[in-house]
Amino acid sequence: MAWLIKGGWVVTAERVEQADLLIEGERIVARKPGLATSSADVLDARGKYVLPGVIDAHVHYQMPIGNLWTADDFYTGTAAAACGGVTTVIDYAEPLGSGDRLEEAIERRLEEAGEKAAVDFSLHLVLLPGHEEDTKALQAAVERGLVSFKIFTTYNQRLSYTAIKKCIQASQEIGALVTVHAEDHELVMSAREKLKAGGRTSVRYHALSRPHEAEVEAVRRLIDIAKECQAPLYFVHISTAGAAELIASARRAGLQVFGETCPHYLLLTDKVYNTEDAPLYLMCPPLRTREDNLKLWEVLSEGYFQVVATDHCSYTPEQKLSGTAFWDTPAGVPGTETLLPLLYSYGVREGWLSLPQLVQVLSTNPARLFGLYPRKGELNPGSDADIVIFDPRKEIKLSAEALHSAARYTPFEGYTLKGYPEATFLRGQLVYYQGRFLGRPGQGRFIPGKLQI
């Protein structure tokens, strides 16, 4: 099977150029203007952008929490991803407890994802207290293709700052990248206890229950640790101006510190917690203020954040509204399908990002950081033919009805999108075209990461 994508504006991390792309089988075989062939199906891309498939580097599909499961399993989650131009997702292999062997957690997750995924996938490995000591298992994980570890400074699965230092050192020796959810546990708990004592337990108080300072303090301490160890460190879902500034200044000082943020932290504010729909917007860390939005855009625009991902963790409105307080409402929002069009409409069109920057933060940078480059995140001959045809003239009002997540709602309902994916190719197969998902479960493959930073 061959495809010729003709006459589009090809966007890479470096430039925008008019060129044709020839796909044979699963790979791109040529990229230049004026390609001709009689043996390929032709897709006319005139007036459209041709982008490398998006990598959503932070998703949670098919995840149990208490006695609930996320609305999206690996099939519905990745089908929705394909419809948004996302061709690779990075989910998590998570041990059941500190006693669970990492190797088993990995094999279990590979099986769950492999059966159902409709786009390619990779996995971060969650480490629980104690796992950071098991360097043999960490080494084996890297050899299996899981080259990034995920740790927490809060929740039950948190590691102490001392354990985190050990973890960062062990990972550095192996060459794996540590990614961290940074909110200082003590600050979160003391805010929560104060609210509880005052009877302020509804979702309205969610933002106050996980204050800005909790993120800022954890990021500050972790940057110090990274500096001491001279090791790389990746911060997931940064939400506050304070933490963004710390990451920017650490990078200016030459540290290998990486920052990720999400569309909801760029676009939404904590004002929604005063509305009836508050539970639908509950995620951790919480939404912040307009000033935080603007600082995050600024830091992203200046290149101090490397990745925008979604932390897609979807529940239905019924599930979200089942909680009684801010601490027992399922946390997370859907997002993968709307990642690219939101970032194009509100990032590129608003002047925060150039088109090459859009490709950097959505595709090339996550591919590099998580060891998938140049197979993913690139449009060179030899790369996987993961391609999005993006129509910058298509204008829509975002509505959950047109989306494919089993969440059945979007936190961005009613947002105007100027530009939308028209077609998605996964390794040379057309898996999405003009609103319709054309792929199938199990079509996605595990892409083992190879160390590169």
CB of 58 to Zn ion, least distance (A): 6
CB of residue 125 to Zn ion, shortest distance in Å? 14
CB nearer Zn ion, residue 20 or residue 260: 260
Q: Is 72 in the site for Zn ion (CB under 5 A)?
A: no
- For Zn ion, the closer CB: 56 or 311: 311
CB of 167 to Zn ion, least distance (A): 18
* 20 contributes a contact to Zn ion by CB under 5 A: no
Q: How far is the CB of 332 from Zn ion (least distance, A)?
A: 7
- Taking CB under 5 A as the binding criterion, the range among 64-72, 102-110, 307-315, 419-427 that sits at the site for Zn ion is 307-315
Residues 397-416 that bind Zn ion (CB under 5 A): none
If one asks whether residue 311 binds Zn ion (CB under 5 A), the answer comes out as yes
Cβ-based nearer residue to Zn ion, 9 or 370: 370
Q: Which is nearer to Zn ion, 24 or 311 (CB)?
A: 311
Interacting stretch for Zn ion, rule CB under 5 A, among 7-15, 75-83, 185-193, 306-314?
306-314
Only segment of 95-103, 211-219, 243-251, 304-312 that touches Zn ion (CB under 5 A) = 304-312
Residue pair 83/420 in contact (Cβ under 8 Å)? The answer is no
Site string for Zn ion, 349-368 (x = CB under 5 A): --------------------
Q: In angstroms, what is the minimal distance from the CB of 93 to Zn ion?
A: 13
How many residues are given for the chain? 453
From the list 42-50, 310-318, 360-368, 404-412, the region that binds Zn ion by CB under 5 A is 310-318
Tell the smallest beta-carbon distance from residue 27 to Zn ion (Å).
32
Q: Scan residues 97-126 and list those touching Zn ion (CB under 5 A).
A: none
CB of 309 to Zn ion, least distance (A): 9
Q: Which stretch binds Zn ion (CB under 5 A): 113-121, 311-319, 361-369, 423-431?
A: 311-319
Listed ranges 49-57, 96-104, 303-311, 383-391: which one lies at the site for Zn ion (CB under 5 A)? 303-311
Q: Closest distance between Zn ion and the C-beta of residue 60, in Å?
A: 6
CB of 422 to Zn ion, least distance (A): 29
CB-nearer residue toward Zn ion: 217 or 311: 311
The residue range among 150-158, 277-285, 309-317, 410-418 that interacts with Zn ion, by the rule CB under 5 A, is: 309-317
Residue 176 contacts by C-beta under 8 Å, 6 or more apart in sequence? 138, 141, 142, 146, 147, 148, 149, 451
CA pair distance 225, 162, nearest whole angstrom: 9
CA distance 415 to 409: 13
Number of residues near Zn ion (by CB under 5 A): 1
Q: Which is nearer to Zn ion, 311 or 378 (CB)?
A: 311
Find the shortest distance in angstroms from Cβ 331 to Zn ion: 9
Q: Which residues contact 312 (CB under 8 A, 6 or more apart)?
A: 56, 58, 59, 60, 61, 72, 77, 332, 333, 334, 335, 336, 405
Give 321's contacts (C-beta < 8 A, 6+ positions apart).
279, 280
Report the residue number, 192 or 237, with the smaller CB distance to Zn ion: 237
209 vs 345, beta carbon nearer Zn ion = 209
Nearest distance from C-beta of residue 347 to Zn ion, angstroms: 21
In the bound state, the residue with its beta carbon closest to Zn ion is: 311
Rule CB under 5 A: which residues touch Zn ion?
311
